[in-house]
Amino acid sequence: MRKEKEKEFFAVHLETFRAHGIADPNFVIKTAYFVKGQAERQFQLFESEIIKGTDIYIEFYDNVKDEKDVLVDIVPFNSDRQLFKYRSNPYFREEYEMKEGVNYKGEPYKLYTIPVTELRAVLKDGTEIPYTVYQKRKDTGEPKKEETKLPRLQQSLFPDFEAEAGSDLKVEDNVEIADAPLSEVTIRDLAAIMLMEPVSAKPWLNDLIKKHTKSEI
C-alpha cells in the first residue's frame, strides 16, 4: 500500500516540481510526530536516503487504522498538501540522533531523527519559505503570499547567496559586488538602495542608482 500511495502523493506535486525546474526529484512520504521533551514535531530518514547527498522532497501522511489496529489507509497529513524539502546535509551523522534496527527481511538499518523546523516549504509558484514561516501562516490563517520582488538593483545588491554560491556575483552594467563589501555598507547606503534615491555618500552607488532609475523610466 505504501508504495502505491507514494506514487499518488508524488503525482499531486508534479506541477510544483515543474515550477521549480526539478526533473527527477527524490520524493518520499513520511510521518511527523512529537517526541517527549521536544516542542516541534520530528520525522525520520533512513541513512540510505540521506547518504545519497541530494535534497529530499517530502509530504507527510497519517496512517488510518481500524478498531483492530490494522492499517486500512494512508492519507495526507496536511489538508493543503504542502510539499517540503530537506536540504542535503553532509554532517547528518554528527547532528542527528540515530537508532539502529533490523527490518522484516533481517537487514540492518540506521534511522536519523530530524526536527521539522529544518525543512523548507516548497510553494507552487516556484519559491520556498522556512518551515517556521509556513507554520506561522498556517496557524494564523494568513494566506500564502508570493515573495515580494525587489527592483533589479536591490536584487543585485542583495542576491540569493545560496543560489549564487561559488559564482562571481555582478549587478547590471558589469558593476561587481566585490566593489561594495557588505561590511562597508552603511545605513545611508541601505536607505539609498531601498528608496532608490542617490543619497549615499558613495558616488559610484549614486551613479548606479541614477542610471538604473533612468533605465526604468
Which DSSP category does 44 fall into?
Answer: E
For 31-173, list the strands marked E by DSSP.
Answer: 33-34, 41-46, 56-65, 71-76, 83-86, 97-102, 108-115, 120-122, 128-130
Cα separation values, 213 from 151, 153, 216, Å: 10, 9, 5
pLDDT tens-digit series, residues 22-60? 989 999 999 999 988 788 899 999 999 999 999 999 999
Residue 192 pLDDT > 60: yes
Cα separation values, 181 from 1, 13, 176, Å: 55, 40, 10
Average pLDDT over residues 185-189: 74
Among candidate residues 48, 109, 42, 116, the one with its CA nearest the CA of residue 82: 116
Q: What is the pLDDT of residue 213?
A: 67
